[in-house]
């Protein structure tokens, strides 16, 4: 595990910290499409993503969801951070977007390391900041009902985390992620296709120029 960690995080953490992480954390590989953390679940571990990507979404009582953002290698879940501090339960749902390798750090170490390692402190604060900005961005587009922009961002993000210009999803899936109707997604996608930005096929979308 130490080698894996070093490979992905040596530019962020000092050697001592890397070693300590590898001592206390659990290494885990999760297949695509699995639920990592569900709504209402209490959080015991803080995940550090080594490879792959995770989709973070919010869900209401009816099961309607709304994708907030994706996390990938080098990221951690800001929700865990706020959960640890507030000692609350998860307000979000995390599903692996691709096969994901991660290390799980017991939450009590998170606080301990905050005072012990400068690099850890910087990492936590920076992650928090990044997520906060991303969230604000999401609020902006939702509040002003710019569905086309949300779709654009969604496609970009999806292509990025998958390291592939071809996205394998149905219009219905996208509609669920963005919490809109399939018809709307189909129409907006059609426009993008006419503009020459994407290519549509059944169950897949190729990104040409966004």
Judge contact between 207 and 167, C-beta under 8 A.
Answer: yes
Per rule CB under 7 A, count of chain residues that contact DNA:
21
Q: In terms of CB distance, is 5 or 151 closer to DNA? A: 151
HSE-CB for 177 with a 13 A CA cutoff: 24
171 binds DNA (CB under 7 A): yes
- Two structure tokens written together for 196: 């020459």
202 binds DNA (CB under 7 A): yes
Among 71-79, 91-99, 110-118, 141-149, the segment contacting DNA (CB under 7 A): 141-149
Among 28-36, 122-130, 159-167, 170-178, the segment contacting DNA (CB under 7 A): 170-178
How far apart CA 74 and CA 62 sit, in angstroms, is: 33
Cα–Cα–Cα angle for 51, 54, 57, rounded to 5 degrees? 170
Residue 191: Cβ within 10 Å count: 12
Q: In terms of CB distance, is 75 or 173 closer to DNA? A: 173
Q: In whole angstroms, how close is the CB of 63 to DNA at the nearest point?
A: 15
Chain residues in the site for DNA (CB under 7 A): 145-148, 170-172, 179-184, 186-190, 200, 202-203
């Amino acid at each position: 595990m130490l080698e894996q960690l070093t490979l992905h995080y040596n530019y962020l953490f000092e050697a001592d910290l890397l070693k300590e992480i590898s001592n206390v954390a659990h290494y885990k590989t999760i297949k695509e499409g699995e639920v990592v953390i569900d709504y209402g679940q209490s959080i015991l571990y803080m995940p550090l993503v080594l490879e792959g990507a995770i989709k973070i979404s919010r869900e209401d009582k009816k099961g309607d969801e709304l994708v907030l953002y994706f996390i990938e290698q080098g990221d951690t879940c800001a929700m865990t951070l706020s959960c640890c501090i507030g000692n609350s339960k998860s307000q979000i749902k995390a599903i692996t977007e691709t096969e994901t390798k991660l290390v799980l750090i017991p939450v009590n170490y998170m606080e301990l390391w905050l005072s012990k390692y400068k690099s850890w402190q910087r990492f936590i604060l920076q992650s928090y900041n990044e997520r906060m900005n991303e969230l604000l961005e999401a609020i902006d587009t939702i509040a002003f009902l710019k569905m086309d922009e949300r779709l654009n961002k969604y496609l970009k993000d999806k292509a990025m985390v998958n390291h592939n210009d071809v996205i394998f999803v149905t219009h219905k899936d996208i509609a669920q992620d963005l919490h809109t109707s399939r018809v709307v997604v189909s129409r907006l996608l059609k426009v993008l296709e006419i503009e020459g930005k994407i290519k549509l096929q059944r169950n897949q979308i190729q990104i040409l120029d966004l």
